[in-house]
Structure 1
Amino acid sequence: MTKRYFITGTDTEVGKSFVTAALLARAAQQGRSAFGFKPIAAGATWHNGALENEDGQLLQQYSSPSYDYSVHNPIVFADPQSPHLCQATSLQSLINLSQQIPPADYQLIEGAGGWFVPINEQQTLADYANALNIPVILVVDIKLGCINHALLSAQAIGSKLAGWVANNRHGSNQNMIDSIATRLTAPCLGTLGQTTINHAATLIQFPDER
């Protein structure tokens, strides 16, 4: 049975793609197929005549099996800014793209930026995630202010929050992680530091493994 998760973060550049890639690698280490999908990305360069985003490339690299880049990241913009400022994207178009995801034991759908990033003038990625109606994994960048960011994000996500990951890449105080853990009912799926993706895969869990 396919398990699907939506990966979001407390902000942009908090390690969503790193965590998603680590989960993809974990599935591969367990002998399971896994597909990483980033429906929309902003900030890209040209590769072989097409725009490609670094996050999308990472998901393509660690998916098993992997497909052509456009299958992993169908909508990509050159400018690194909020997607709605690049070009308005309809909610239905994102839903339609998600229905074309190749079959796999795990399907991981990564958002862009934080939970409420706009995709057009009326809707956000939260609307997309809610339309998918799948469990959510929250990536928390452990730094000053992260407790507030984590609690606000968790409150916005609501009951679909299946777990969170502490991305302790700055080597911050463990007290921050403990403070979040005591205030969220969703479990911590792992604490990551400065490490490789393959090693991070051994330090993290899927919610269904708990």
Structure 2
Amino acid sequence: MKTIFVTGIDTGVGKTAAAGLLAKHLLEKGEKVITLKIVETGAAGFSEDIKTHRNIMGIALTEEDQKGLTCPYLFSLPASPRLSANREGKSIDCNKILSSLHELQKNYSTVILEGAGGLFVPLNERELIVDFIQKNRFPVVLVSSPRLGSINHTLLSLEALKNRGIKIIGIVYNLAVEADPLIVEDTRKTIQDFYPKLPIVDLPDYKKNPLQTINFSEII
């Protein structure tokens, strides 16, 4: 069984597209793969991110999706998971997320987990997303982008992962963000200069070509 945790340097950086396209890549290689959104805020009724994953993968919603196993926590307030949960009188229990993961692992050889926001987003009063990753020894794919400030956010995230002994599989560089071509090139080069052994996979805007397949063989 294989698990991969997709996190990002910030919110809205492209984690959902990256997770869906990673799953599609593995699906087309013949693997039995599913995605798990550990917590989603700013949604009601059903996970929008899971719908996006399935659309990218080219499959219908699964039985596990309908049961809520692939998104164990869903909150309407678009805020941090801790605040969104608290506003509904709830608290996020990481054991519930792990329970969903273990159920999915009974039927799938690979589970791709997608986080919420960046690494230091609070899940509850005691745990950050990075704590959850570290405790469970999940290997990480970090999603970055060329928007202004991304060099700092990316290097900080990589430093935090490295200092906690978390395995970094690679970086997905989201090109869907509009930016000056000079910044796009320099941001990617700077990240690669500081982490020359870390593979970087470019992610074109999937909305412009939703049927595209990205080759993630350097990462997985």
Give the alignment's TM-score, normalised by structure 2.
0.83
The answer for the alignment partner of 1:193 in structure 2 is: 204
Closer/same/farther in 2, CA of residues 4 and 206 from structure 1, 3 Å limit: farther
SS in 2 for 1:71: coil
What's the offset of the Cα at 1:189? 3.8
Identity among equivalent positions (%) equals 26
Structure 2 gaps, min length 5: 86-90
Distance 1:75 1:206 in 2: 32
The answer for the alignment partner of 2:151 in structure 1 is: 147
SS in 2 for 1:198: coil
What's the offset of the Cα at 1:193? 2.1
Distance 1:89 1:13 in 2: 21
The answer for the alignment partner of 2:135 in structure 1 is: 131
SS in 1 for 2:133: helix
> Would you say 1:13 and 2:3 are equivalent positions?
no
The answer for the alignment partner of 2:168 in structure 1 is: 161
Amino acid at match of 1:59: H
Contact 1:35 1:64 in 2 (8 A): no
Closer/same/farther in 2, CA of residues 23 and 82 from structure 1, 3 Å limit: same
Contact 2:41 2:81 in 1 (8 A): yes
The answer for the alignment partner of 2:219 in structure 1 is: 207
Closer/same/farther in 2, CA of residues 28 and 197 from structure 1, 3 Å limit: farther
The answer for the alignment partner of 2:88 in structure 1 is: none
Distance 2:197 2:144 in 1: 13
Q: Tell which deviates more after alignment, 68-77 or 8-17.
A: 68-77
What's the offset of the Cα at 1:162? 1.4
Contact 1:14 1:141 in 2 (8 A): yes
Closer/same/farther in 2, CA of residues 178 and 83 from structure 1, 3 Å limit: same
Q: How many residues align?
A: 201
What's the offset of the Cα at 1:206? 5.8
What's the offset of the Cα at 1:28? 1.7
Give the alignment's TM-score, normalised by structure 1.
0.86
The answer for the alignment partner of 2:124 in structure 1 is: 120
Distance 1:20 1:186 in 2: 22
What's the offset of the Cα at 1:147? 0.6
The answer for the alignment partner of 1:176 in structure 2 is: 187
Amino acid at match of 1:166: Y
Deviations 1:92-137 (A, max 9, x none): 3333332222432321011011011101112111111112212100
Contact 2:143 2:172 in 1 (8 A): yes
Contact 1:116 1:124 in 2 (8 A): yes
Distance 2:171 2:197 in 1: 7
Indicate the structure with greater strand content. 1
Contact 2:199 2:218 in 1 (8 A): no
In structure 2, which of residues 108, 111, 114 is the aligned counterpart of residue 107 of structure 1? 111
